Amino acid sequence: MNIFIPHHWLLEHLETNATSEEIQRLLSLSGPSVERVETKEGESVYDIEVTTNRVDSLSVRGIAREAAVILQQAGIGAQLRAQNIPEIPAPQESTLPLPQIENDPRLCRRITFVILDHIKHTPTPEWMAKRLRQIDQNIHDSAIDITNYITHELGHPCHAFDYDKIMQLGGLIKVVEAPAGKKLTTLDGVEYATVGGEVVFVNADGDIIDLPAIKGTANTAVDDSTSRIMLWIESIVAEKVRFGSMTHAIRTVAAQLNEKHVDPNLAPAVLQRGVQLYQELCDASIASEVYDDFPSPISPAPISLSTKQVEQYLGISLDQDTITKILQALECQVEWTDDSTFRVTPPTFRPDLTIPADIIEELARIYGYHNIPAKIMDTPLPLNRPADSTFQLELHIKEWLTMLGWQELYTYSMVSETQALASGFTVDEHLRLQNPLTDDKVYLRRNLIPSLSEVLDNNSQRPGLSVFEIAYVYHPDSGALPKQELQLCLVGQKPLREMMGDVEVVLRRLFLKSRIHQESDTLGTLLVSTDGTDWTKCGVLSRLSNTRSALTIELTQLLSQARRHPNYKPLPKQPALSESLTFTVPKKTMVGPLIASIQAADPLIDSVHFEGSYQDNVTFAISYLHPDQPLSSKDIEPIRKNIVTLVESEYGGILVGTLS
550 burial (CB, 10 Å; 0-12 / 13-18 / 19+) is buried
Q: Considering the complex, what minimum distance in angstroms separates the CB of residue 311 from another protein?
A: 8
- Determine the Cα–Cα distance for residues 513 and 561; give it in Å rounded to an integer: 10
C-alpha to C-alpha distance for 599 and 621, rounded to whole angstroms: 11
List strand residue ranges (DSSP E) for 65-143, in order.
Answer: 78-80, 100-102, 108-117
Would you count residue 391 as binding another protein (CB under 8 A)? yes
Q: Which of 180, 190, 193, 246 binds another protein (CB under 8 A)?
A: 246
489/595 with CB nearer another protein: 489
Q: How far apart are CA 643 and CA 48, in angstroms?
A: 83
Q: Give the residue, chosen from 120, 308, 462, 563, that forms a contact with another protein under the rule CB under 8 A.
A: 462
Q: Residue 301, interface with another protein (CB under 8 A)?
A: no
Task: Using CB under 8 A, count the residues that bind another protein.
Answer: 93
364 binds another protein (CB under 8 A): yes
Figure out which of the listed residues 412, 495, 579, 650 binds another protein, where binding follows CB under 8 A. Answer: 412
153 lines the binding site for another protein (CB under 8 A): no
Tell which one of 339, 374, 521, 546 touches another protein (CB under 8 A).
Answer: 374
Minimum CB distance to another protein smaller for 24 or for 112? 24
CA pair distance 200, 198, nearest whole angstrom: 6
- Which of 84, 438, 567, 632: binder of another protein (CB under 8 A)? 438
For Cα atoms 547, 513, 584, give the angle at the middle one, nearest 5 degrees.
60
Residue 67 exposure: Cα atoms within 13 Å on the Cβ side: 34
How near is the Cβ of 610 to another protein at its closest, in Å?
23
Sites for another protein among residues 309-348 (CB under 8 A)? 312-316
Candidates 434, 460, 649, 660: give the one binding another protein (CB under 8 A). 434
Of 435, 545, 649, 660, which lies in the binding site for another protein, with binding defined by CB under 8 A?
435
Question: Which of 282, 287, 284 is CA-nearest to residue 128?
Answer: 282
In the three-class reduction of DSSP (H, G, I as helix; E, B as strand; rest coil), residue 619 is classed as strand
Q: Which of residues 68-127 bind another protein (CB under 8 A)?
A: none
Which of 10, 78, 275, 444 lies at the binding interface for another protein (CB under 8 A)? 444
Q: Which of 191, 410, 565, 614 binds another protein (CB under 8 A)?
A: 410
Which residue in 375, 356, 378, 366 sits closest to 311, CA to CA?
356
Segment lying near another protein (by CB under 8 A), choices 113-121, 271-279, 356-364, 618-626: 356-364
Q: Is 482 in the site for another protein (CB under 8 A)?
A: yes
| 393 lines the binding site for another protein (CB under 8 A) | no
Q: Which stretch binds another protein (CB under 8 A): 211-219, 479-487, 546-554, 636-644?
A: 479-487
The angle, 0 to 180 degrees and rounded to 10, between the axes of the packed helices 267-282 and 142-154 is 150
CA pair distance 6, 3, nearest whole angstrom: 10
Minimal distance, residue 364 CB to another protein, in Å: 6
**β-strand partners of 293:** 111
Contact residue for another protein among 388, 519, 611, 637 (CB under 8 A): 388
For another protein, the closer CB: 105 or 405: 405
Cβ contacts of 569 within 8 Å, gap of 6 or more: none
Per CB under 8 A, the list member of 479, 566, 570, 657 interacting with another protein is 479
Interface with another protein by CB under 8 A: which range of 125-133, 469-477, 539-547, 566-574?
469-477
Between 49 and 637, CB nearer to another protein: 49
CA-closest candidate to residue 423, choices 442, 441, 448 = 448
Q: Is the CB of 368 or the CB of 424 nearer to another protein?
A: 368
Contacts for 595-599 with beta carbons within 8 Å, 24 or more apart?
595/620, 596/515, 597/646, 597/647, 597/650, 597/651, 598/622, 598/643, 598/646, 598/647
Nearer to another protein, 128 or 318 (CB): 318
Residues 28-67 that bind another protein (CB under 8 A): 28-33, 36, 51-54
Pick between residue 40 and residue 398 the one whose CB is nearest to another protein.
Answer: 398
Q: Whole-angstrom Cα distance, residue 235 to residue 263? A: 8
Determine the longest span between alpha carbons in the chain, in angstroms.
132
Residue 340 CB burial class (10 angstroms; 0-12, 13-18, ≥19): middle
Q: For residues 257 and 157, is the Cβ–Cβ distance under 8 A?
A: yes
